[in-house]
Amino acid sequence: MIMIKLSGNLTHFSNPKASRKNEYSALQRGVISVAKAEEAITDIKTWPAYAVTPLHSLSDMAKDAGLGAIWYKDESIRFGLKSFKALGGAYAVARQLQNVLEARLGRRPAIEELLNGDLKGEVSEIVVSCATDGNHGRSVAWGAQMFGCGCVIYIHRDVSEGRKLAMEAFGAEVVRITGNYDESVRLADTEAKAKGRIIVSDTSYEGYMEVPKDVALGYTVMLSEIVEQLNGEIPTHVFVQGGVGGLASAVAGYFWDLWGEKRPRFVIVEPEQANCLQLSAKAGEPVVVTGDLDTLMAGLACGEVSVLGWQILSNGADDFMTLSEDAVAATMQLLAKGYESDPAIEAGESAVPGLASAVIARQTPEFAEVLNLNEQSKVLVIGTEGATDPELYQQLVG
């Protein structure tokens, strides 16, 4: 086995509540399921410029890492927004507009009516809002522009100027605060209640559960594409980025509901300084990580677990890992060049933790053993974003 030149520190916690014998419960199915996903998949496929994103087979990287396969779902081109979050935020905007208009009009408008501008006057009076690290807010802003409603986005101190400008380019009003992500979530919620705005958040908390379900259902478009692209194969492992747990729970829930006991081993990856999911697994209940949450992986700089996400991950995620910062740029560079004959891929800093952790873990005997990673392992990773901040991407990749 040729060792890939990729280094970084990992920590690992095996979830004692996870088991192949666990059944996907009715409570979990109420958050995400294959059946619930059908409407979102049908609607989003009618949007302008919808296209399936690639599932790359990184065969040379897999061979040299000592794995049977690495599949990389490339979301760097999704709807031109360069992120999988284009699916979730915009879909939740559409659902909220349908809900409001149904109450006002006495009938539920179809997606086509929103897209065609048939209800332009009514829609223009509605304002959606959220807090974001960048990609979710861009999706909400894009959805608001596509459907014709107003939009106010809150960002924290560490969100780059490039990401702020990208949201403003879709017509959103962007408010920057001096606090961290979790503080921006609370401010967005408070001001939305005071000013009659609709919060479209990708994280759930007490009293706010329904909209994040729609966000997660939007992500299932990507997951249904993966299933078709795998053409009958089932990965042995899925390494997926953590954050608040919205994406991770959608991935775990959808595949668990679809494949049952044949489901892959779900490994959640987080930054060292923002490991709320790992700490929650250790404690057996949601734990809040406080402080600056300082990490290059800006999209994962989250300190509070999504309540809905935890309903699935608490016993559906098999392993929780953290990845050190030094592995991020090196993995981005590896993908940008194209490893051996593998395709070159544009991957942002929050896109690579899953891939980096899988490769490093396989080449570290203690982690390879505990995760059961070997020459037969078929690993799925999700490249959640491309160069969503072009200036930072160039600094890291060159």
Under 8 Å between Cβ of 17 and 282 = no
DSSP-derived pairing of the beta strands 69-74 and 55-57: antiparallel
The catalytic position among 74, 133, 189, 257 is: 133
Q: How many residues does the chain have?
A: 398
- Which residues on neighbouring strands pair with residue 265, listed in sequence order? 237
In 3D space, the residue among 13, 87, 79 whose CA is nearest the CA of residue 254 turns out to be 87
Under 8 Å between Cβ of 352 and 323 = no
Residue 133 known to be catalytic: yes
What is the Cα–Cα distance from 260 to 258, expressed in whole angstroms?
6
What is the Cα–Cα distance from 13 to 221, expressed in whole angstroms?
30
The catalytic position among 73, 85, 164, 213 is: 85
In 3D space, the residue among 126, 121, 76 whose CA is nearest the CA of residue 97 turns out to be 126
What angle do the packed helices 135-147 and 85-105 form, to 10 degrees? 40
> How is 243-307 classified by DSSP, letter by letter?
TTSHHHHHHHHHHHHHHGGGPPEEEEEEETT--HHHHHHHHTS-----S----S-GGG---S--H
> Which residues are catalytic, by number?
85, 133
